[in-house]
Structure 1
Amino acid sequence: MKAGSGSRRFVYEETEWSEEPMSPTGRLMEDVGVHIVAMLGLGIPLNLPVFRAGIEKELLPRYPRFSSIQVMDDSAGGKPRWVRTAVNLDDHIIIPNVDPAIVASDPEKAIEDYVAALTTVPMDRRRPLWDVHFLDFPTPKATSTMVLRMHHSIGDGMSFMTLFVASSRSTDDPSRQAAMPPPRRTGPIYQLKPRPPLLPCKALLVWLLSYLVLVWHTLVDGVLLIATILFLCDPRTLFTRADSGRKAHIRKRFMHRSLSLDDVKLIKTVINCTINDVLVGVTSAAISQYYFRKSGDIISKKICLRSFLLVDARPVSSRQTCVSKVETGNRFSGLICPFHIALHDDPLEHVRKAKRLMDRKKNSLEVMLTRAVGDFLVKYFGVKIGAFVLRLFLTRTTIMLSNVVGPAEQITLCGHPVVFMAGSIYGQPQALTVHYENYGNTIEVTLAVDDAQFPDCHQLLDDFDESMKLIKDAASLHTLTSVHCD
């Protein structure tokens, strides 16, 4: 059922941004068919007129691609362009009729089933490629739930997150915009040491050596990137997509769980690493726990799998500046992140290994190389070849992994307080996607799984919760031991 309030249309104001060519990354996402799903738990029942007015006033003016369609530009060799158009919100706001008996029995499963069914429904390409669905019934986590579905060609996770923050207010202080957390890094993911003074010679030698290491790591990562495109595949495990990624429109199920940001920071302090290192370690531990229980395999040999870790390519010296001026489009890259399926006596070892791996990746230009390869393929061989190569590359890795930084405090969006944010993607040729999202004092972990391949997917989600507890307990014990030793 669609929302009804007449057929009023939102008509954009004429600006310099009436047309814009699609970026190479956007064209790749278009051809591969990747979509973003953002589930927002609301703290009050839906007030449709208020939310609708907020969309018209806040979201549409700030993000031009919500008011744009894709048009082929014959004068530019048949390349697609974004062209502004009038938006009829009745075409984009949907309030479905969900069976009351199903809702009463298990409201969270009712939402899961609805969103899973949504992943099999194509979007109408004659309209801007987004729609919002309101499930106006309570769950243990929220009073009502909003599901925003968008085509990945119109933007990436970070651009949408900054849009949400820019269009909202702080729940604690509605007079101001919500604050973003301080940046975890002030430059690109790779590390370049500043040039030392000419004297002493030892410092200069160390500086030159750091560049040689950077070049060597980049060369190795580049070879592995090309090898993965050509022939290098992960070993087949129960996480490998059963159909090898050939089928399209596979039904995806999304589940999410809240983890404590304070627990993550405790582990971060004990290991002296980053929050991202902790999350990669928790993923490795959870995947290992699920694998050994499910397979019954008790071998001690480690199994090395690889994830494709998405990385925001925007400068992050000031996230609040990015919020003030929302950046549209896709500005992300990625790197191959190996992890081992293994059991460790000390759960912290998963995080230590993740730290060593990510420290190694920070001494490489792999992120720049990956983006350059994608742009090169689209520019010189066309989007069809580029999309084919991207699909081939993704089928030869096992997991998609990402982490999006959200606001440091709870927000009120379009007059509705948001109690949780859980986002993910579908359309990519992998059976499992793990997505982390900071919001306030929690980190929401969202799993997107092939519905038929993981009938016990909630056990996998439980493993993430259990792995976090085990690693946090080990970190707490390590802290107590250190205090007693001192």
Structure 2
Amino acid sequence: MEKGRNGGMYEAPLSPVAHIFLSEPKREMVIISFVIFQRPVDVGAVKSAMKISVSNCPLLRSVPVTRRSGRMRWKELPEIHIDDHIIILPEELDVENIHGETSETYINAYVAELASWPAMSRDKPLWEIHILSQRRRCIVLRLHHALGDCVSLLALFLASCDLGGDLSAVIPSIVGGKNKEGLLRSIARAPLGVCRLLKVAWRMLLISVFEAKYTLYRMEDKTSIAGGLRVHLMPRKLATLSLSMDDMIIVKNKLNAKINDVFSGIVLCGLAKYLLLKSPDEPFKEAVISVGNAFNVRGQGAKELMLSIKEGDDIEWGNMVAVLHIQMKLVSPTKDPLQYVRNVRDTLNKKKKSNEALTAFKCHRLMRPSGGKLLERLHNRMAAHTSVTLSNMMGPSNPIFLKGNPVIKIGVTITKQSTPLQVHMISYYQKAYLQFLAASEIIPDPDCLSSCVDEALRDMKLAAVNMTTSDREVNQAGPYAWLTKITYSMPSRGCPNIQPKTFDVQTFN
């Protein structure tokens, strides 16, 4: 992004992804993030924090405008009023507690309702904050996806919070900075640059062929959770799940995987359990489904981006995200549950070695000047041919505060996507918070699905603890060898058809 020369006002072109999100009002994607505090929310503290964020980010002061050429650009407004973006829910409207609704259920229902709201008005910057009643201790941020991705939103929020302790311990570094080479070294490596250029061109060709094929027809088996072109118009339901990061790290270390591999594996395993639960009288049919995995391709992580915001440096704002589409097989959940993590790990490692995410992102940038409509249709068709979209972020590992009020939970989700199921995970203070946003006509009970995912992590943790030094020895011992040594009870979490499981002999702490 760059600053304009007309009176110092900020003006910049839209990114390729932002153009997609703003081109069609019915498909305008909005990031909805909710933050739950330990004490009731102080409205004055929220306004003060937003003034800091608005002053640090020019896009929060800008609106999209269309030039005579037909192209859209961001244009900074001379003045904005914070009060115009704050929506305070009156206490008398919060009557759900009378019917026995918990705060978690109420917040989930409120966020799901926001997911069906009409497009945001472009007369003012595309963001707003909803402050729920005092008993909920929650604020909900509704921000247009064209303004930025979830990583930049997290960095912006952290820049307005009080971070206790060592900064490197509070926010671990995720992505390193860009590798900058000197001029002489670049010239010395010029012959290798030609080879790299040819290699990148070949990758772009392969990715273009794959995306074209992916756009033309569905590359997955037909299942009960398959989507379509009009899924984004369906009402949504939201379910949340809290998992232990220590349990995920146990599985991660045993399989030499990454947290993203474990996260994707437990979601797919839980999805297989959910499909089996929905058809208990039919034999389980192993199916291939398409999964979209979002990756941050910027040269900065949330920590580096937050420091840049605080210091006023140049930042890579906007949408620096690429989605890797992979085909995963839903094997029977009665088999080795760790196989899901192994399959995801091996598949994503091949994708990462080919640098497909960054290459695809550059391809989309090249298509922006002349292929805006083509890029929009490509994105919509690929989303319609995807059953599940996954995204995860590493958040603070220590408690954070907003003007002295401790934050106890953070959640984020994205609306108006054509995929029937979106699962977003953000880690915070030794916990992993998952949000399941599902099309209610396809997945009417996301709470049941979250219970299946919870059970999947339990199974994987127990299998990892009892796993021997080699996967081959585990397979020879049989898929149920690790179950005979453990005792645990799995709560139903809103899914009455799932009964708690108990096994004898000894317990695991």
TM category, shorter: 0.7 to 0.9
Match of 1:323 in 2: 306
Q: Is the 8 A contact 2:437 2:446 kept in 1?
A: no
Match of 2:64 in 1: 70
Q: Is the 8 A contact 2:154 2:302 kept in 1?
A: no
Q: Distance in 1 between matches of 2:408 and 2:30?
A: 23
Match of 2:29 in 1: 34
Match of 2:155 in 1: 162
Listed one character per residue, the Cα deviations across residues 383-412 of structure 1 (whole Å, up to 9, x for unaligned) are x33212211111011111111222222211
Q: How has the CA–CA distance of structure 1 residues 82 and 469 changed in structure 2, closer, same or farther, with 3 Å as cutoff?
A: farther
Match of 2:44 in 1: 49
Q: Distance in 1 between matches of 2:36 and 2:420?
A: 26
Listed one character per residue, the Cα deviations across residues 246-299 of structure 1 (whole Å, up to 9, x for unaligned) are 265432222211111111111111001111111111111111111111133754
Q: Is the 8 A contact 1:239 1:398 kept in 2?
A: yes
Q: Distance in 1 between matches of 2:197 and 2:364?
A: 25
Q: Distance in 2 between matches of 1:85 and 1:134?
A: 26
Q: CA deviation at 1:224?
A: 2.3
Q: Distance in 1 between matches of 2:359 and 2:200?
A: 13
The normalised TM-score by structure 2 is: 0.79
- Residue 225 (structure 1) aligned with residue 217 (structure 2): no
Identical pairs, percent? 25
> In the alignment, which of 311, 324, 334 is matched to residue 323 of structure 2?
334
Q: Distance in 2 between matches of 1:285 and 1:260?
A: 17
The SS at the match of 2:173 is: coil
- Residue 443 (structure 1) aligned with residue 432 (structure 2): yes
Match of 2:171 in 1: 180
Match of 2:16 in 1: 24
Amino acid paired to 1:474: A
Listed one character per residue, the Cα deviations across residues 27-77 of structure 1 (whole Å, up to 9, x for unaligned) are 112224111010111111011122212222x21112221111111222x54
Q: How has the CA–CA distance of structure 1 residues 369 and 278 changed in structure 2, closer, same or farther, with 3 Å as cutoff?
A: same
- Residue 110 (structure 1) aligned with residue 106 (structure 2): yes
Amino acid paired to 1:130: W
Structure 1: stretches of 5+ with no match in the other structure: 1-13, 189-209
Q: CA RMSD in A?
A: 3.1
Match of 1:262 in 2: 246
The SS at the match of 2:353 is: coil
Q: How has the CA–CA distance of structure 1 residues 389 and 481 changed in structure 2, closer, same or farther, with 3 Å as cutoff?
A: closer
Which one has more relative contact order, counting CA pairs under 8 Å at least 6 apart? Answer: 1
Q: Is the 8 A contact 1:137 1:144 kept in 2?
A: yes
Q: Distance in 2 between matches of 1:380 and 1:212?
A: 23
- Residue 367 (structure 1) aligned with residue 357 (structure 2): yes
> In the alignment, which of 386, 406, 416 is matched to residue 405 of structure 2?
416
Q: CA deviation at 1:376?
A: 3.5
- Paired residues for 1:272-287 under 5 Å: 272-287=256-271
User: What count of residue pairs does the alignment treat as equivalent?
Assistant: 439
Q: Is the 8 A contact 1:245 1:429 kept in 2?
A: yes
Q: CA deviation at 1:101?
A: 3.9
Q: Distance in 1 between matches of 2:461 and 2:445?
A: 25
Q: Distance in 2 between matches of 1:381 and 1:21?
A: 15
Structure 2: stretches of 5+ with no match in the other structure: 1-5, 180-195, 310-314, 475-509
- Residue 133 (structure 1) aligned with residue 117 (structure 2): no
Q: How has the CA–CA distance of structure 1 residues 265 and 211 changed in structure 2, closer, same or farther, with 3 Å as cutoff?
A: farther
Q: Distance in 1 between matches of 2:271 and 2:10?
A: 46
Q: Is the 8 A contact 1:217 1:363 kept in 2?
A: no
Q: Is the 8 A contact 1:218 1:364 kept in 2?
A: no
Match of 1:427 in 2: 416
